[in-house]
Amino acid sequence: MKASNRKKWLNIIERHEASDLNITQFCRQQQINSKTFYRYRNLFNLEKSEVKPQEFVKINPPELTEPDLKLCTPAATVMLPNSVCPIWLATLIKGLQS
């Protein structure tokens, strides 16, 4: 994608996010095809959410007591207490999915 086109669509998406309009209303007002808007928005959201192979997901594990929760994946098995922070657990699962 050309840099100018990328910049244009990032600007359009940012303007939508700053508006109080839903996507259909915004696209109609801006005379933009809503399917095209969704395509670019999804493309940029995918780019944001991807963990690049060279990135390292740093986690600080809580102190383990007797494990109450067992998380098994093909790559690893993790034992955690029930008191583990859900946000920390979500970060861990995202890192294991890479």
Higher pLDDT pick, 64 / 69: 69
Residues 40 and 70 placed together within one structural domain of the fold: no
Write out the H or E segment, with its range, that includes residue 48: helix 34-49
State what percent of residues in the chain have pLDDT above 90: 36
Which of 39, 49, 51, 46 shows the shortest CA–CA distance to 9? 39
Neighbours of 75 (CB within 10 A): 8
Residues 34 and 10 placed together within one structural domain of the fold: yes
Query: Can you tell me the distance from the alpha carbon of 34 to that of 30, in angstroms, rounded to the nearest whole number?
Result: 10
State what percent of residues in the chain have pLDDT above 70: 85
DSSP state, residue 24: H
Flag the least confident range among 12-21, 38-47, 88-97.
88-97
Residues 23 and 36 placed together within one structural domain of the fold: yes
Residues 39 and 59 placed together within one structural domain of the fold: no
The domain total for the chain is 2
Residues 44 and 63 placed together within one structural domain of the fold: no
Neighbours of 10 (CB within 10 A): 13
Measured N-to-C along each axis, helices 23-30 and 3-18 cross at an angle, to the nearest 10 degrees, of 120
Instruction: For residue 80, name the pLDDT band (cuts at 50, 70, 90).
Output: confident
State the residue range of the domain holding 94. Answer: 52-98
Measured N-to-C along each axis, helices 34-49 and 3-18 cross at an angle, to the nearest 10 degrees, of 100
Residues 88 and 64 placed together within one structural domain of the fold: yes
* pTM exceeding the 0.85 threshold for the entire prediction: no
Q: Is the pLDDT of residue 15 over 90?
A: yes
User: What would the mean pLDDT of 44-63 be, rounded to a whole number?
Assistant: 70
Residues 43 and 71 placed together within one structural domain of the fold: no
Residues 42 and 56 placed together within one structural domain of the fold: no
Residues 40 and 76 placed together within one structural domain of the fold: no
